[in-house]
Amino acid sequence: MRSTALLTAAAAAALTIGAAAPASAAPKLAAPGTPVYSGMEIRINKPVADLGVAVLATASKCTLGAVVSSGRALTAGHCGKRGTKIYTKSGAQIGTVTANLIGAKADIGVISLIRGLGTRVDSIDWSSRVAKGSPVSKSGITTGTTRGTVIDPRQKLLRAVECPYPNLIPGSSSILCAITPPQLLVNQSTYVVETSFKSQPGDSGSGVRNGSGQVVGIVSSIPQAVDAKGNPIIRSFYTPVSRVPGNLR
């Protein structure tokens, strides 16, 4: 993104032979009873370059934000497009992204979970009502549990784009995106609420909880801003869960 930093953490790149993984290389499904809970690490294999005889894929890490039911969970929309398979840290598949709301200006992805997992269902306030100064917190895989307050409860449209180029050489992605016409960048503008808690890459998708412990939003991004002395300003943006359609709750 230009105005904000997406919070997906990229791990080491892996080379997968063939345009698609052969059937014998299909990932294993998570065993029955595998714990699935808000705040756990989830991994997504993202193809970043098609080399003809091989596909270069990056294993990205996000945080699972909320378990809606035994069959459904939420994370950040930019963590995976529709059809993206979701894995545990150990590489077992727990589900698939079956709805991505970025097109509706909501940075939330809906995961359909496989059957038989040990899900810990969260209490969710679908109204997402908060007031200025209300206490909020999140639990992410990078910075753990951090607390803060709502800076502005009014939802604002954060205009942002995702760079479509792989960062095969450090810094190359930023250079290419800087000279790319805006119409060729991927629009990921989303409605967000601004808070004062800390987030870092990998915390994307974390569930944001109100003072009663209910999930009210999903962590989306952090502003790239500094104060008068050049120090980073600690802020985080989240997308309210009120933007999830009723049929996906």
Domain boundaries along the sequence of the chain: 4-119, 135-243
Q: How far is CA 182 from CA 5, 172, 248, in A?
A: 17, 17, 32
Tell whether domain 135-243 is in CATH 2.40.10.10.
Answer: yes
Q: Compute the distance between CA of residue 149 and CA of residue 144 in angstroms, rounded to an integer.
A: 17
pLDDT of residue 16: 30
pLDDT of residue 155: 96
Please say if the pLDDT value at position 1 is more than 80: no
- Sequence-distant (6+) residues with CB within 8 A of 162 are 1, 6, 78, 185, 186, 188
With a pLDDT cut of 70, the percent of the chain lying above it is 72
pLDDT of residue 3: 40
> Per the confidence metrics, is the pTM higher than 0.85?
no
Strand-pair category, 236-240 with 190-195: antiparallel
Mean pLDDT of 11-18: 34
Mean pLDDT lowest among 15-24, 35-44, 119-128, 138-147 = 15-24
Between 46 and 237, residue with greater pLDDT: 237
Helix (H, G, I), strand (E, B) or coil at 233: coil
Q: Compute the distance between CA of residue 241 and CA of residue 108 in angstroms, rounded to an integer.
A: 8
Q: For the chain, what is the mean pLDDT?
A: 82
pLDDT of residue 243: 98
Mean pLDDT of 214-219: 98
- Summarised one tens digit per residue, pLDDT across range 222-231 is 777 777 888 8
- Summarised one tens digit per residue, pLDDT across range 32-91 is 999 999 999 999 986 544 444 444 445 589 999 999 999 999 999 989 999 999 999 999
Strand-pair category, 161-162 with 207-209: unpaired
Residue 68, token pair as written in the block: 């809606």
Between 236 and 57, residue with greater pLDDT: 236
Please say if the pLDDT value at position 4 is more than 60: no
Q: Compute the distance between CA of residue 192 and CA of residue 194 in angstroms, rounded to an integer.
A: 7
Q: Which residue do the tokens 């059809």 mark?
A: 83
Mean pLDDT lowest among 80-89, 154-163, 170-179, 192-201 = 170-179
Residue 243, token pair as written in the block: 């933007």
Looking at 17-111, list the stretches that DSSP marks H as alpha helix, in order from N- to C-terminal side.
none
Q: Measured at the alpha carbon of residue 110, what is the angle toward residues 235 and 108, in degrees to the nearest 5?
A: 25
Q: How many CB atoms lie within 10 A of CB 156?
A: 12
Topology alike, domains 4-119 and 135-243: yes
Mean pLDDT of 17-46: 74
- Sequence-distant (6+) residues with CB within 8 A of 113 are 36, 70, 71, 72, 73, 94, 95, 119
Please say if the pLDDT value at position 165 is more than 70: no
CATH class of the structural domain 4-119:
mainly beta
Mean pLDDT of 208-220: 97
Q: Which residue do the tokens 């209300």 mark?
A: 134
Helix (H, G, I), strand (E, B) or coil at 24: helix
